[in-house]
Amino acid sequence: MQVTIFGATGLLGKTLMHEWHADHVIGLGSRDADIRSNHDVQRTIAQHRPEWVVLAAAYTDVDGCETNRELAFAVNCQGACNVAQAAAESGSKLLFLSTDYVFDGCKQSPYEIDDPIAPQSVYGHSKAEAEAKIRAILPAACILRTSWVFGVGGRCFPDTILKLAATRKELDVVNDQQGCPTYTIDLARVIIQLCRCGATGTVHATNSGECTWFDFASDIVRGAELTTQVHPTSSDKFIRPAKRPAYSVLSSASLRPYAITVPSWQDALRRYLEERKISSSQLF
């Protein structure tokens, strides 16, 4: 199977490149092809003629999107449309990475794939609009929503917590936002399975279970055997430019038809900490 990945130099993209075996995979970063350029995208897909295109490239700075709305929509929406159009013209299948931020966070039970969307941030709006336009261009596309992505080799919540805990005796972390952490290795494996299954439509994929950022941070510090005290606090103590969903747990029901299960976030965190330790030791 021929696969082209846009966003191969990002946190998830690097993991996809490492995990994807037995297929012919081409990974592209923004220097190879700027998805905002329809010409770049058309040329790239025409050159490689992939069976599958995985679009992991995005402007994911949620707060940055609030002050850079034009850039957010240029990358996350128009860029996605450029890729979808080129995929449609070449006969390629498309898997597009979307987000829990398309929901408003007002629900109190896991979000299903057909729940109404109501994004509360520029980032969420840019992804929601991209979803709608991709469905119009390529109705058989696979749109994968995920959340709270973390992994070794880039900026993510556990990395931030560990760096702060190395220099502080106490940390305050919000305890009123509930979601699902997602380890890049587990997410990459889901993506690979979905492509090999010929998946279509919308799916939700995260590690199993749910927690607050405080719960997550507490387990990170405990798992790293650090002595930093983690204290719960509320979101109003940490005002951010972009509004975060108070509850954005994604239901895993859409993965069942593909017989895909994902490990718990606690298990994923344990493996992340082990991988991070190995990665750090190799730098010396």
- Please identify every residue annotated as catalytic: 123
d(CA 62, CA 175): 19
d(CA 138, CA 140): 6
**Residue carrying structure tokens 């890049």:** 184
What is the H or E stretch that residue 38 is in?
helix 38-48
Are 241 and 67 contacting, i.e. CB atoms less than 8 angstroms apart? yes
- Cα angle 218, 250, 240 (rounded to 5 degrees) comes to 60
d(CA 266, CA 98): 23
d(CA 221, CA 231): 12
